[in-house]
């Protein structure tokens, strides 16, 4: 039993001392030697425990250990060496006891050396860590600058507005940022602005010269034209134009207009262009419009509308301004805005009439497939 215990200790020692420590620094080299007090029993060094700087396999590569590992490869039970006469005696140490003592000493030395080796490796790692950290900090900084470098900022479209006022004329023209984002519209509006201003100046000069010649006072002419966004989807942009003009009479006059722009086709289209062939929105719009118009007329006139009056009938379709409108600004058109300008549905004193009608599911069914995503249905008017 005692021999088996010694054998187990030696095997445990072999596994404990055979820990490979590779890639260690050359400064961590160390060698130790474990010799038995009864070295005379084997005629020399019984155990040697070098920590080689070449192989770095720690420790105890001795003939005794070779015997232990060889014993694992055969079925035969290892036998202890025969006891010699010089091993006997009170002053001599028994080989088995010496072997056990040497095993314990080597195990202790092995553990100490392992701790020293791990501490040394940790120290080496700590010494090299800052440089690697600094390199990593420096390296990602440049890469992050490349990855996170700001892209060229495209200036956002801005609304346009011009105002001029002289003793001869007053002029104003504007359009929204949504129109500024469309180059074709900018070119179109710029051309119209220049032409409108030129006409204003020419008419104002002619009127001023004639009045001064006849001895009348001259009042500066005025023209204003403004575009406003009624709604837009990914493909469509709906604009309303408002025009005011004064040419020296009793009062000025105003009017409205509509412009529906197809961004994909890059041109202006009509509401009829939205619909499938043979379909129409005229009936779906005109009938409820006329009903709601008369309700509003009665409020302003404070009396029932008389069909035979000058402004008692419902205006014709061509006299009206019809706009597709996005009332909740969610990128989908949901209403139709119908405008009757001054002198269309009533006298100048009544002003213009503006009626808003919902776009129903039936109306959307009449649209061409490519435009349906730009609209959303609402319940019919009551």
What CA–CA distance (Å, rounded) separates 38 from 60? 18
Crossing angle (nearest 10°) for helices 95-147 and 2-17: 20
Judged on CB neighbours under 10 Å (0-12, 13-18, 19+), 296 is middle
Tokens read off for 375: 């609209």
What pLDDT, on a 0 to 100 scale, did the predictor assign at position 118?
A: 54
CB 81 within 8 Å of CB 63:
no
pLDDT score, position 53: 41
What is the pLDDT at residue 270?
A: 97
The DSSP letter of residue 360 is P
How far apart are the C-alpha atoms of 121 and 330, rounded to whole Å?
64
DSSP lists the bridge partners of residue 238 as 231, 260
Distance CA 321, CA 339 (A): 5
Low-confidence ranges of the chain (pLDDT < 70): 1-155
Residue 75: per-residue pLDDT:
44
Output the pLDDT for position 288.
95
For strands 335-340 and 321-325, give the pairing: antiparallel
Token pair 């503006």 is found at 354
Provide the whole-model pTM: 0.60
- What pLDDT is stored for residue 116 in this prediction? 55
Q: What is the pLDDT of residue 154?
A: 47
- 324: nearest Cα among 338, 314, 312: 338
How far apart CA 248 and CA 206 sit, in angstroms, is 12
Q: How far apart are the first and last CA of the chain?
A: 107
DSSP state for residue 99 in the 8-state scheme: H
Mode of pairing for the β-strands spanning 57-58 and 19-20? antiparallel
pLDDT value for 304: 93
Query: What pLDDT does residue 251 have?
Result: 87
Q: Which fold has domain 160-374?
A: Heat Shock Protein 90 (3.30.565)
Q: How far is CA 257 from CA 36, 125, 354, in A?
A: 113, 78, 13
Q: Report d(CA 345, CA 232) in Å as an integer.
A: 28
In the chain, CATH 3.30.565.40 sits at 160-374
Helix H or strand E segment including 109: helix 95-147
Between the alpha carbon of residue 31 and those of residues 28, 48, 110, 116, 155, the distances in Å are 10, 9, 11, 12, 73
């Amino acid at each position: 039993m005692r021999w088996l215990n010694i054998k187990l200790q030696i095997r445990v020692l072999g596994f404990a001392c055979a820990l490979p420590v590779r890639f260690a620094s050359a400064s961590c080299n160390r060698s130790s030697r474990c010799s038995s007090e009864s070295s005379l029993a084997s005629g020399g060094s019984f155990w040697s425990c070098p920590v080689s700087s070449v192989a770095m396999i720690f420790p105890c590569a001795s003939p005794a250990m070779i015997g232990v590992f060889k014993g694992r490869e055969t079925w035969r039970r290892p036998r202890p060496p025969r006891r010699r006469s010089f091993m006997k005696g009170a002053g001599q140490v028994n080989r088995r006891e010496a072997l056990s003592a040497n095993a314990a000493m080597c195990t202790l030395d092995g553990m100490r050396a392992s701790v020293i080796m791990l501490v040394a490796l940790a120290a080496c790692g700590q010494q090299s860590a800052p440089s690697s950290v600094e390199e990593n900090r420096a390296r990602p900084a440049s890469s992050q600058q490349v990855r996170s470098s700001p892209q060229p900022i495209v200036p956002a479209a801005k609304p346009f507005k011009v105002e001029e006022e002289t003793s001869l004329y007053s002029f104003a023209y504007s359009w929204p940022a949504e129109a500024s984002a469309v180059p074709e519209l900018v070119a179109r509006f710029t051309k119209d602005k220049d032409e409108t201003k030129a006409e204003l100046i020419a008419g104002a000069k002619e009127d001023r010269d004639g009045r001064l010649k006849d001895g009348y006072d001259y009042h500066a002419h005025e023209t204003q034209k403004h575009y406003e966004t009624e709604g837009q989807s990914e493909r469509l942009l709906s604009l309303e134009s408002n025009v005011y003009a004064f040419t020296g009479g009793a009062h000025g006059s105003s009017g409205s207009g509509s412009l529906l722009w197809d961004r994909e086709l890059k041109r202006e289209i009509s509401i009829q262009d939205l619909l499938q062939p043979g379909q129409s929105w005229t009936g779906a719009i005109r009938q409820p419009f006329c009903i709601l118009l008369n309700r509003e007329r009665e409020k302003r006139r404070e009396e029932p509308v008389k069909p035979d009056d000058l402004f008692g009938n419902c205006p014709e379709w061509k006299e009206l301004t019809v706009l597709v409108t996005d009332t909740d600004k969610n990128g989908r058109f949901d209403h139709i805005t119908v405008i009757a300008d001054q002198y269309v549905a009533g006298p100048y004193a009544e002003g213009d009439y503006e009626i808003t009608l919902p776009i129903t599911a039936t109306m959307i069914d009449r649209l061409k497939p490519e435009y349906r995503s730009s609209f959303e249905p609402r319940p019919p008017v009551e």
